[in-house]
Amino acid sequence: MSENINQVTLALELLVTFFGVFLAFTLDRLIDWRKDQKAKQELLRNLACELNRLKDTLTEEVHRLFPNIWDSAIASGKLDLLNPQELPKLTDVYRVIKETDYEAMRVRDAKEAFEETHSNDARVNYSILNQAYTQRMQDTRKLIDNVLKEPWLSRYVKSLKSA
């Protein structure tokens, strides 16, 4: 009989140990998931803030666009936190932002060339590039507006306005 009690005690000890280890792993996974959710919220809040700033930078005057938070998120690997529906939309808008920044550099260079030479060719080149940039700038603003209206990002835009 004492042998049966020892076997039951051993089985209970193993069961309690297994349950404790299982609980510890479950809690650890839950803590990691919660940290990831907070990091994702912070990333989306920062991206919403950056997109608002970039949209405000797109005025009639030619300005460079610096998507530092996006570049940082890429370098740090934080883009893994985003859902498959969110990532392509953000990637597209930031691709267009970088293209717009490139166009801004071309317009500024053409303007400098025109101001240095005052040649007719430089003026025509500057005029063409400036017109193309103006259209691209408007398209970029619309694209940023559309992304900021996405349900998964719009809540962070609202929290920025109320802060």
pLDDT digits 0-9 by tens, 64-99: 999 999 999 999 999 999 999 999 999 999 999 999
Answer for the pair 62, 107: CB distance below 8 angstroms, yes or no. yes
pLDDT in tens, 87-130: 999 999 999 999 999 999 999 999 999 999 999 999 999 999 99
Q: Computed from CA positions of residues 131, 136, 138, 141, in that sequence, does the dihedral angle turn out positive or negative?
A: negative
Q: In this structure, is residue 6 part of a structural domain? A: no
Q: Domain range holding 116?
A: 31-162
Q: How many domains does the structure of the chain reveal?
A: 1
Torsion of CA 94, 100, 104, 107, to 10 degrees: 160
Q: How far apart are CA 86 and CA 27, in angstroms?
A: 28
DSSP 8-state symbol, 150: S
With respect to residue 72, please indicate whether it lies within any of the assigned structural domains: yes
Does 100 fall in a domain?
A: yes
Indicate the pTM of the whole model: 0.81
Angle made by CA atoms 132, 129, 134, in degrees to the nearest 5: 35
139 domain residue, yes or no: yes
118/109 Cα distance (integer angstroms): 13
